[in-house]
Chain A
Amino acid sequence: MQTSGFKKIYTKVTQITKATCSIQATGIGYDELATVNGRLAQVVKIQGNIVTLQIFSGTEGIPNNAEVIFTGKPPALHVSDELAGRFFDAYGDPIDGGPDVQGELREIGGPSVNPVRRKQPSELIATGIAGIDLNNTLVTGQKIPFFADPDQPFNQVMAMVALRAKADKIILGGMGLTNDDYLYYKQVFDNAGALDRIISFVNTTENPPVERLLVPDMALTAAEYFAFDKKQTVLVLLTDMTLYADALSIVSNRMDQIPSKDSMPGSLYSDLAKIYEKAVQFPEGGSITIIAVTTLSGGDITHAIPDNTGYITEGQLFLRRDSDIGKVIVDPFRSLSRLKQLVIGTQTRADHPQVMNAAVRLYADAANAKTKLENGFDLTDYDERTLAFAKDYSNDLLAIDVNIDTTAMLDKAWELFGKHFTKAEVGIKQEFVDQYWPKD
């Protein structure tokens, strides 16, 4: 072994697998970073004097006399205001041709917030999209993914939400992002004149998949700096978390761990929770809101990745193409914002909760009528009216191209109730009916 500065250098690799190599070394800390012939690697196992390293970009071409240099530190990021407006790779190195960021070096994936030091999220985030604001209202400090098939325009919707959300900083964590989508984000933010509020950590499809594992922690370390140290409202966009989970399974697979459901590692829940739980509202004012994308395969939300995600996040926004109106909508059945009850009816008009539920219930009746129709049965007058309502509701409120404020959304809903139903069929608390039922 040689030492150069603080670093320890070894050259005797004892074992090489597809993702890892092992080496005889002493005094090495768990989780510590190293380079193996220049490639970044992390300590994942220590047994006696055998240290196993996971090499992020893979072990192809690594010889058994590779030069292994231990850095003595876990992965870290330099944080300061200089991060703003910059684009980085998964390791936190600039990819925009700019200079290195100066600032405090912080370990990524650091400790979690003491639950009693959190504040209950309470600030409504208005997006103008009724499928979100009316039915699934978002709140700062929330964590919520879009569930969408890969062909849905989730990146567009997410960019739109991000720009309307009025955040001090928007941090993009791109995992397996295509180069085109990466450039799309860059361009949208640029056009909106928001580039100085954006920080990006990007792993594109051209980079090795295992590198992605660093992206969420990098993005969230930057987010904590701005939200906690600088008390800013920070919005973190993570796309695509399914590709992140795939990278987890690649690693655990190569390390011969016993897979659980859908070949995912048994620790998938904890791995994802560690990321999403970084969403927080601090009592001192700053907040981290996480909006993520989890792509589905064929709309299947029972797959281990969306399933575990749904158990962790505070709801999900389910995008679906509605063939009746030919537009993408936020599906009211599968979508949910668990924090909406903290703001609806209090920060929005008092009839909001009841209107929201009544509309969804009627939409469910329409779905039943549709099944009847498909099975070749006659429809009742009520069935016909629910179908007509569903079409209006979908087009005027659920479609993602709607951009109005919440009061207008509520008025619109009452208008549709009045157009298609009797008061009893809508079944809302009398005081609201008296106040808002359209007069004709």
Chain B
Amino acid sequence: MEENKLTTGTVTGIIANLVIVEADGPVSQNEICFINLAGVRMMAEVIKVLGNKAYTQVFESTRGLKVGETAEFMGHMLEVTLGPGILSKNFDGLQNNLDTMKGTFLRRGEYTDAFDYDQAWDFTPLAKAGDIVVAGDWLGEVKENWIGHKIMVPFKLEGKFTIKSINGAGTYKASDTIAILTGESDEEVKVTMLQKWPVKIPIKGYVDKPRPFRLMETGVRIIDTMNPMAEGGTGFIPGPFGSGKTVLQHALSKQAEADLIIMAACGERANEVVEIFTEFPELEDPRTGRKLMERTTIIANTSNMPVAAREASVYTAMTIGEYYRAMGLKVLLLADSTSRWAQALREMSNRMEELPGPDAFPMDLPAIISSFYARAGYVNLRNGAAGSITFIGTVSPAGGNLKEPVTESTKKVARCFYALSQQRADSKRYPAVDPIDSYSKYLEYPELQEYLAEHITPGWLDKVLDARNILLRGREVYEQINILGDDGVPIDYHLRYWKSEVIDFVILQQDAFDDIDASTPIERQRKMLIKVLEVCHTDFDFESFEAVNPYFKRIINVFKQMNYSEYESEDFNKYEAELEAIINERKVA
């Protein structure tokens, strides 16, 4: 883009945050502009161009704006700044640092730097003068919290470059030049620790994107054991309000085995963000012993913040994720909720009087969702390292009905489906993931199957499928019992139902608010699944169906006490022994 003479314009129309600007020069789709309102500059994005008229969505309230006000076009799309110092920050959807804003209330036109440009970092070079490099190659490293933050050849550079000079180990400011590169036509490029990137364009710079093959441990049994997420995989959590989407995502953000977590709070409650930045600086990551906040970055565009910036927020979060992935890190990106993002698109599309698709969402919604999910993944970098973005979004279907555009479009692209059920939530069977409807496509990947066999136990997949099958048959006989009555079915039906209930209560249900039960390491999950399946495959002797329910309630109760006890502690072992005794009471020899 030509940057020497910037286009300016005049406001000619205002409908809420859709502002029409007559431009005096070239404008491009998605270009950023600033609209003046009595001395306040409000950021806006071009979303449609018609002749010399630019339709812009303003990322602020337009209250008081008048026609005739001026606008300046910036010659670039919405960009984020990338560099050391992103971790542990609280940004808004446009990457403004929320903590350095003044006052209690958000002020229109207040944009704060994402970075402290003067902060000094200890730099260690990873390349040397004379090396041939391309975009994304690592030039050096600084320590950001505890990660080795790579300083890379800017992603915007095209073609091969030779390192003309690179600074030696030392302390530099983020904005200092740390290397000079020479291009193929001898042009020189100064590289600092900072670079900019337009959020709506994926950062490439990797060799290939193999299929995910490694388990991403989350400590949540219904995910790890029953519907495993793969590192670099995608999944979504649809569910009616109150079914536990946010609690589940927060559990993932606390427990998942990732190097860093990016939370996009997209159009949901402010108090849920407050919860994170109140608790995460205190809570420890059990794997590293470091505070959770050290690995967490929050992109907050809560429901009361400007709607247009909501759409940008998920892209901002994804771009930051891609940046860290290029350093060979394992990133977990969580967005709550992607439906709010889709609704922001809908509000704008309606204001522009576009032809609506189903439920008045824009026609191209499926394509937008699909290309967003496609940005996640496991990648091999040029230097042999690998990085990943695992993406899990929540979906908030209207009326809890999954036959709606956002759920349906997401289902086509996300590989794991964690459907939350109202019925399970109502009966407090948390996490309310429906065990029958939910799935992980990764279970079908031979790569992952091999990984599970090697890292958990040989034959693990068969055990998981066995448990799924018992659950399914349990649901079938439950329906039969409901139709035919307790005494209208053989005792065996009751047994089958109660065996499925054991899996439900012991493996599926998990108390997110209990210190011990909240997170189950995979070794403990292995032990519990094997134990539960043992019960499921035991023949029990019952003279009447009436004795089945109280007997299994006892079994479940002891199992639950085990879940609440420290693994292999005295209590745990005591309950396990108690369990054996109960089993032996009715076990057919």
Contact = CB atoms under 8 A, between A and B. Distances in A.
Interface of A: 26-32, 44-49, 74, 107, 110-121, 141, 228, 257-261, 266-267, 269-270, 273-274, 277-278, 280, 282, 302-304, 307-308, 310-312, 314-316, 333-334, 336, 338-339, 341, 353, 357, 360-361, 364, 371-372, 375-378, 380-382, 422-425, 427, 429-430
Given A277-B302, A381-B546, A115 B67 contact: no
A311 B340 CA distance: 10
Contacts of A257: 350
Interface string B64-82: 1111100000000000000
Q: Which of B66, B356, B488 has the most CB of A within 10 A?
A: B66
Contacts of A258: 350, 356, 360
B398 A111 contact: no
Given A48-B67, A364-B427, A427-B556, A380 B98 contact: no
A111 B106 contact: yes
B48 to A, nearest CB: 15
Given A116-B277, A316-B242, 11 more contacts: A46-B14, A49-B67, A115-B90, A116-B99, A266-B350, A269-B340, A277-B304, A308-B398, A371-B482, A423-B557, A427-B556
Interface in B457-489: 482, 485-488
Given A114-B105, A266-B350, A380-B486, A30 B65 contact: yes
A386 to B, nearest CB: 11
B581 interface: no
Nearest to B278: A120
B565 to A, nearest CB: 9
Contacts of B482: 371-372, 375
Nearest to B300: A115
Interface stretch (B198-206, B265-273, B385-393): B265-273
B210 interface: no
A349 B513 CA distance: 15
A28 B303 CA distance: 29
Nearest to B397: A307
Contacts of A228: 104
Nearest first, the 6 closest Cβ-Cβ pairs linking A and B are: A302-B399, A273-B303, A277-B304, A310-B241, A377-B485, A112-B304
Interface stretch (B216-224, B322-330, B547-555): B547-555
Contacts of A310: 240-242
A115 to B, nearest CB: 5
Contacts of A372: 482, 485-486
A303 B399 CA distance: 7
Given A46-B13, A115-B98, A121 B65 contact: no
Nearest to B561: A430
Interface in B91-115: 98-99, 101, 103-108
Contacts of A107: 63
A352 B273 CA distance: 26
A117 B98 CA distance: 9
5 contacts: A44-B16, A115-B90, A115-B273, A118-B270, A353-B513
Contacts of B307: 267, 270
A49 B68 CA distance: 10
Interface of B: 12-16, 20, 61-68, 90, 98-99, 101, 103-108, 240-242, 267, 269-271, 273-275, 277-278, 300, 302-305, 307, 340, 343, 346-347, 350, 356, 359-360, 396, 398-401, 426-428, 482, 485-488, 513, 545-546, 549-550, 553-554, 556-557, 560-561, 564
Contacts, number: 205
A47 B526 CA distance: 66
B67 A46 contact: yes
A261 B66 contact: no
Contacts of B271: 118, 120-121, 141, 314, 339
A111 B278 CA distance: 23
Contacts of B550: 382, 422, 424-425
A72 to B, nearest CB: 9
Contacts of B65: 29-30
A380 B270 contact: no
A120 B274 contact: yes
Contacts of B98: 114-116
B343 A429 contact: no
A49 B347 CA distance: 25
A427 B401 contact: no
A316 B485 CA distance: 35
A286 to B, nearest CB: 10
A307 B545 CA distance: 42
Contacts of B107: 111
A265 B270 CA distance: 23
B513 A341 contact: yes
Contact of A114 (B12, B64, B101, B346): B101
A269 B343 contact: yes
A112 B305 contact: yes
A427 B546 CA distance: 19
Contacts of A278: 304
Contact of A282 (B104, B278, B347, B359): B104
Nearest to B100: A116
Given A315-B242, A339-B271, A111 B486 contact: no
Contacts of A273: 267, 303-304
A245 to B, nearest CB: 14
Contacts of A282: 104
Contacts of A116: 90, 98-99, 277
Contact of B270 (A31, A113, A375, A422): A113
Contacts of A423: 557
A118 B274 contact: yes
A20 to B, nearest CB: 12
B549 A382 contact: yes
Nearest to B351: A257
Contacts of A333: 426-427
A180 B233 CA distance: 58
B312 to A, nearest CB: 15
A219 to B, nearest CB: 16
A379 to B, nearest CB: 8
A361 B556 contact: no
Given A364-B426, A427-B556, A30 B63 contact: yes
